[in-house]
């Protein structure tokens, strides 16, 4: 009946997945609520974090700024040119929440979840602590190509496609494929 002891016997890399998965879950909730409130993902609002892009086109989370009223136009111009991205909080004990409307969203969700950034110190297992960070709200998709369209051999009444694309590290092809294959009515289709 020593659940904590049994849990601690798991490999450290596996153990770290638990708080990281919860951190990602919170990020997804922040993102979903932002969309539900009608806030854009490709345009900054006052109080949002924005991340600069490095010379290779990769988002560089350490080069961030918080959008102020006097910099809003300039930042949105940089976003439209692919030089910056809107970023959301990956909750952790060192990462400050966004400001403005996005900050309100983040605080609401943390309150609903009954958790604080300080809880990510995980005092009972400090080796699992998460300091936090930022993640872009949208992920750049590079080199997308439709390589082939053909009849499906397994289901001859249907079509199949072969696509190619490149995603940056930390992005998941399964998420993109889910969006591509999503039916018009996901709820009705049991998606």
Of the pLDDT bands very low, low, confident and very high (cuts 50, 70, 90), residue 191 is low
Which residues fall within 8 angstroms of residue 171, CB to CB, at 6 or more apart?
139
Q: pTM for this one?
A: 0.82
Please write the tens of the pLDDT for every residue from 102-157.
999 999 999 999 999 999 999 888 889 999 999 999 988 888 999 999 999 999 99
For position 56, what pLDDT does the model report?
A: 77
For position 106, what pLDDT does the model report?
A: 98
pLDDT at 31 over 80: yes
Q: What is d(CA 167, CA 77) in angstroms, rounded to the nearest whole number? A: 23
Most confident of 43-57, 83-97, 155-169, 172-186: 83-97
Which backbone phi and psi does 111 adopt, to 5 degrees?
-65, -45
What number is the average pLDDT over the span 170-177? Answer: 82
Which segments of 12-128 does DSSP mark as H helices, in order?
A: 12-36, 72-80, 100-113
Structural fold of domain 3-136: Pseudouridine synthase (3.30.2350)
**174 versus 79: which is more confidently predicted?**
79
What number is the average pLDDT over the span 37-61? Answer: 91
Q: Is residue 131 within 8 Å of 153, Cβ to Cβ?
A: no
Which residues fall within 8 angstroms of residue 7, CB to CB, at 6 or more apart?
15
Q: Where in the chain is the domain with CATH 3.30.2350.20?
A: 3-136
What number is the average pLDDT over the span 159-188? Answer: 83
CA 112 to chain CA centroid, nearest Å: 19
pLDDT at 1 over 80: no
For position 67, what pLDDT does the model report?
A: 97
């Amino acid at each position: 009946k020593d659940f904590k002891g049994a849990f601690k016997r798991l490999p450290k890399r596996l153990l770290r997945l638990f708080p990281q998965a919860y951190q990602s879950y919170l990020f997804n909730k922040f993102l979903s609520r932002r969309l539900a409130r009608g806030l854009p993902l490709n345009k900054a609002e006052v109080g949002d974090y924005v991340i600069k892009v490095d010379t290779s086109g990769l988002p560089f989370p350490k080069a961030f700024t918080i959008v102020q009223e006097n910099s809003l136009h300039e930042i949105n111009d940089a976003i439209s040119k692919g030089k910056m991205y809107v970023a959301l909080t990956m909750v952790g004990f060192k990462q400050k929440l966004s400001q403005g409307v996005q900050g309100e969203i983040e605080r609401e969700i943390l309150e609903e979840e009954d958790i604080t950034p300080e809880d990510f110190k995980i005092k009972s297992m400090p080796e699992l602590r998460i300091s936090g960070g930022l993640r872009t709200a949208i992920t750049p998709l590079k080199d997308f190509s439709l390589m082939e369209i053909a009849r499906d051999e397994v289901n001859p009444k249907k079509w199949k496609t072969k696509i190619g694309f490149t995603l940056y590290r930390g992005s998941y092809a399964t998420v993109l494929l889910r969006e591509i294959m999503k039916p018009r009515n996901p709820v009705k289709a049991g998606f």
